[in-house]
Amino acid sequence: MGRVCVAIAANSATEMLNRAAEVARETPFLEFRLDELEKPQLVTSRLKSFLFDRPLITAIATCRRKANGGSFTGTAQEEIEHLVTAAKSGCHIVDLEIETAEALKALALEKIRAAGAAVMLSFHDFKSTPDLDAVYARMAKFSPDFYKIVPTAKTLPDSLKLLKLLEDKCEDGNVVGISMGSCGMITRVLGPRFGSMFTFASAANGEETAPGQITARTLNELYRINTIEAATRIYGVAGSPISHSMSPLMINTAFRRETVNAVYLALDTASVKDLLKVVDSLPIHGVSVTMPLKEEVLPYLIKTDPLSARIGACNTLVRGDDGKLYGFNTDVGGIVGPLERRVPLRGAKVLVLGAGGAARAAVFALVQRNCEVSILNRTPVKAQKLAKQAGAKVIKRDQVGKTRFDVVINATSYGMSGAKDVTAPLTAEEMNCGHFFELVYNPIETPLVKIARAKGIAVILGIEMFVQQGARQFEIWTGKPAPQDEMLRVVLHALRQQAENALPPEPAAKAETNAPIAVEQRKAPSPSISEVHPAKPATKAATPKPLPKPVAPAAAVKTAPVKVAAKASSKPQPAKAARPTPPAKKALAKPLKSKSNSPTLARPAAKKQAVASKNKPAPAKKSIASKPVAVKKPAKRAAAARKPAPAKKPAARKK
Ligand code: NAP
């Protein structure tokens, strides 16, 4: 048994078995969701020969009733009958809901065990995270072979409760724990590290059987779940919304490429306090901070680099040797680096559109480099405030078209994928410059980029800033040069895929006259790597710059910082420059109680031998370098890409 069990849900028995055969080639640990079929018996009757022919597969059978979050509409008694048939057909483990066990008493468990399967008693809460110790105690009355505890994390600290339970029970080696929802994502990756026997994954994007489920390929190849151990360092990107972020793809790729024993997760939170709770409780070594936390986090840091303190925003946290948190701003380098390579900055006339966090980084950094910076913002008062703080000017909209700039920077969210406001901060006539720098990176080709290209203006894309700021974070955290080419390659690939998936479907045959237009759209200009890095090969940028010297931010002096002393640090030291702790040098503060990375299972004797003989799942064959992890497709498209959608079933599964 591996760390990842893939849930197989389909619309027909044949589709389910075909899909299972396909998935088992990569991950031979499967959950058959019998409840997804109108007649579960159609698949249980064929499971015997299916599993007999594929002895490497470990199989779980689940037939969850509707009342408990599944799709099965029969009675508890009927559920047991399907599960018993599945057990007799060779399924090694049977998922039995606590509600069914309570309704039918110990009889249900006995029937399943007599049919030859181990019982995994399951608890699900689709709304919240209740008292998990009480849940465990409720389940323990049945002495199940395995416990499956799946609450919903509404906040990041909810996920901590689940991980704590796993850690507490890991000695027993028979608990599977996952928190559903986007705040529970960390438990899907870290669960096994904290003692969960395994975790559940979907077969592909669009085939999720529970909220927040990640694909098996993403868990295996991007998060390298099979290599996560006590010494693996944990990093993440914190903010909200965060599910669209390309940072996990980019940074995990870099970790993998440079063989850094670390994993980078999406920390979905809009609350600094929740973030700090997680950072305090888990051995987290660094965090990328994004909207809306960049400014809010400052008072809680022990020190920041001078630029973050002046700008009043920080996007990178590092846990120092003393266990305290230090802040850096790598957005600045991400803006200045690409500009410096193309434009002599001293005396350059720069127009910055926007007055938010990204604009602040641009304005402060460019004023410091002796640029003549003008700010134009939708809300003029914010532009005035920023201009005053940074020593820049405010420009009125009616003056913009009459002024020639060396550089125009779009630091507004106009054009960003998902942004609702469609009013452009600048028209084609008003764009009068030598270089246009678009900070929005998703999509690659924004409306303003299209205008600039049409006018023959040199374009700098947001993806270049994105990779640069991420590369600098990687260097701060690891002390190693960042593999920028590879980081850029995977993000470009993912963004292109996303753009392709967002296009309307190909026109039907009858609309043949429209076909060339559709093809044209599909091949909309999208940059090559050399276009994104025209002036300087990424390898050159791979030399890490020295860390800026942190200074105490004014806010930190005034505000008593929340206690974030990490359990990772054994001995507090006086505050000093925030050097990342050298990888794998220190023991983690919270060593796991679990004894191994591949928890062994306590099984009933009858089943033990059969399961023990199963091979471990083969490690992922395809490297992420050759096949980047797919970006989430809309459910419908993913299903359609696999097979024509059967009439009966809706594409997106509820559970
Ligand atoms: P923010 O703090 O929310 O600021 C957004 C700014 O955009 C505000 O000044 C806002 O004006 C202005 N704005 C929004 N929609 C506008 C519109 N339709 N017309 C004119 N102005 C508009 O956001 P942020 O953190 O600065 O980020 C801004 C953009 O930069 C985002 O798209 C973000 O994705 C991008 N960014 C990219 C990178 C990268 O690595 N490439 C890094 C950081 C940020 P008001 O003041 O009137 O509200």
Residue 359 CB–ligand 1 contact under 6 Å: yes
Between CA 438 and CA 445 the distance in angstroms is 9
Residue 181 CB–ligand 1 contact under 6 Å: no
Catalytic residue among 148, 294, 324, 649, which? 294
Residue 425 CB–ligand 1 contact under 6 Å: yes
The candidate with the shortest Cα–Cα distance to 103, out of 136, 78, 82, 85, is 78
Q: What is the 3-state secondary structure (H, E, C) of 151-185?
A: CECCCHHHHHHHHHHHHHHHHHCCEEECCECHHHH
Residue 416 CB–ligand 1 contact under 6 Å: yes
pLDDT for position 504: 63
Report which protein residue has its CA nearest ligand 1's atom 2. 356
Q: Catalytic residue at 649?
A: no
Between CA 6 and CA 4 the distance in angstroms is 6
DSSP state letter for 145:
S
CA distances from 72 to 84, 139, 592 (A): 15, 22, 38
pLDDT for position 619: 33
Residue 355 CA to ligand 1 center (angstroms) comes to 8
Read off the pLDDT of residues 208-256 as tens digits, 9 standing for 90 and up.
Answer: 999 999 999 999 999 999 999 999 999 999 999 898 899 999 999 999 9
Between CA 616 and CA 29 the distance in angstroms is 9
Residue 330 CB–ligand 1 contact under 6 Å: no
Residue type, 611: V
**Which of 289, 413, 448, 491 to probe ligand 1 with, by most ligand atoms within 8 A of CB?**
413
Listing DSSP states for 534-576 in one string gives: -SS-TTGGGSPPPPPPPB--HHHHHSPPP----TT-SS-----
Quick one: tokens of 299?
């008072």
Question: Which of the residues in the chain have pLDDT under 50?
Answer: 507-529, 533-655
Residue type, 355: A
pLDDT for position 237: 98
Between CA 368 and CA 313 the distance in angstroms is 16
- Against a cut of 0.85, is the pTM above it? no
pLDDT for position 628: 31
Between CA 344 and CA 474 the distance in angstroms is 27
